[in-house]
Amino acid sequence: MRVLEKITKGITDVLGVIAGVMIAVMMLLAVLDVVMRSVFAAPIIGATEIIQILNVGIVVALGAGTVANQHVTVDFVMDKMPKAPRFYIQLAVDVLNIAILVLLAVCSFQFMDKSQAQGYTYSLLKIPEWPFVGLIAIGLLGGVVGVVCTMCREVMAFKAEKNMPAKGEEDGQ
């Protein structure tokens, strides 16, 4: 399990760095475009389109966020449940997440193929669309890997907790 976790962390860390760079460039480009427009009355041509393209970085970071357990959750209901039902509900949610992410990744890869075959480009800059759709698909697969890794971690923790002696048994009481 440790080897799988190291490989997963390595892959998702690389995707996280790519996403971070894309998001940083997106923010810098937006600021630069506003400055150029305001100070020099010369906006950057295609800046809005490039920023839209760089939004792909959000999806690419999916796996890194999942592995690091950095997603926003609302646990006020789950925290009040006993551990066993909470574990099985979380397991069902993880399986559903995997199914949805795999479906989205497959559809993204199919659309990438169609985009490449049809020669789809972004309207203003005429940049090919398919590489960015491919990045989305890879980011979704990173999310799948992240959820699988998290699910394995949860199963191992649940099994370890289940095998621990109950309070009072460890002291012979």
**pLDDT tens column, 42-70:** 999 889 899 988 888 888 888 777 777 77
Its sign, for the CA torsion 32, 35, 39, 42, is: positive
**What pLDDT is attached to residue 98?**
95
pTM for the full predicted model:
0.80
Its sign, for the CA torsion 149, 154, 159, 164, is: positive
Q: How confident is residue 134, by pLDDT bands cut at 50, 70 and 90?
A: very high
**Percentage of the chain modeled with pLDDT above 70:** 92
The mean pLDDT of the chain is: 86
Rounded distance, CA 4 to CA 23, Å? Answer: 28
Task: State how far Cα 5 lies from the chain centre.
Answer: 16
**148 closest CA partner among 87, 102, 82, 79:** 102
**What pLDDT is attached to residue 169?**
54
DSSP assignment letter at 79: G
**pLDDT tens column, 19-49:** 889 899 999 999 999 999 999 999 998 898 9
Helix axes 83-118, 130-163, angle to 10 degrees: 160
R_g over Cα of the chain = 22
pLDDT at 133 over 90: yes
Using DSSP, state whether 21 is helix, strand or coil.
Answer: helix
* More confident position, 92 or 81: 92
